[in-house]
Amino acid sequence: MPEKESSGGKAVVVVDMQKDNVGGFCRGIIPNIKLLLERARDKGIPVVFACDSRYPGDFIFTRMGHKLSCIRGTEGVKVIEELGPQATDVVIEKRMMSGFFGSDLDFTLRQMGVQSLIVVGVATVGCVLKTAMDALEFGYEVMVPADCCATPSREYHELALKIFELFNMLKPTVAEVIDAL
């Protein structure tokens, strides 16, 4: 795990960029996230992957009707190869939309001395939104670069970006976020 002093109190949280979750709608954000992760790692900023890890009987499949994906123990739960993870990165399993709910994400970040998060990934209107909002309520400063998150529906993506803007979390580009590292 990276040392507290090297991170400047920041971390990047990558939400659900896994083999079962990454489709055509989010291929365009992969280069931006990859660039952000490279810069963060170069500066000693922790990279944490908050990853879906579900059971076939989870409510998202049984009550919400989503197709089975990211089932524990399958290839689909692995982070896409383009993004890592690297040996210094942390992978947190999550069973809910928020990376914080029922996981040890908050504890892990606090152990690292993190106070500021950059949240990226899929889906903007679902897991990214839930993770960013929970981070805000846990007292973290939160940045969400618009060009590092995606949702299948452009309309819902834009709606989530408006929510991030309302809470002063939205950053237009990854370049703006990298400048702040």
Per-residue pLDDT, 8: 81
Q: What is the mean pLDDT of residues 163-167?
A: 97
Q: What is the mean pLDDT of residues 70-87?
A: 95
pTM of the full structure: 0.94
* Contact status, residue 18 vs residue 78, Cβ threshold 8 Å: yes
Worst-scoring range by mean pLDDT, 5-14, 46-55, 130-139?
A: 5-14
- Tell me the CATH number at 89: 3.40.50.850
Looking at the chain, the whole-number percentage of residues with pLDDT higher than 70 is 96
The 10 Å CB-count burial string (b at 16+, else e) for 9-23 is bbbbbbbbbbebbbe
* Contact status, residue 52 vs residue 7, Cβ threshold 8 Å: no
Tell me the C-alpha distance between 180 and 101, whole Å.
28
Residues with Cβ within 8 Å of 84's Cβ and at least 6 positions away in sequence, in order, are 37, 47, 49
- Mind listing the pLDDT tens digit for each residue in 134-150? 999 999 999 999 999 99
Per-residue pLDDT, 7: 66
Give me the number of domains the chain comprises.
1
Q: Is 66 left (phi over 0), alpha (psi -120 to 50) or beta?
A: beta
Tell me the C-alpha distance between 61 and 67, whole Å.
6
Joined together, the tokens standing for residue 116 give 């500021």
> 10 Å Cβ neighbour count for 27?
11
Residues of the domain holding 23: 4-179
Tell me the C-alpha distance between 171 and 166, whole Å.
12
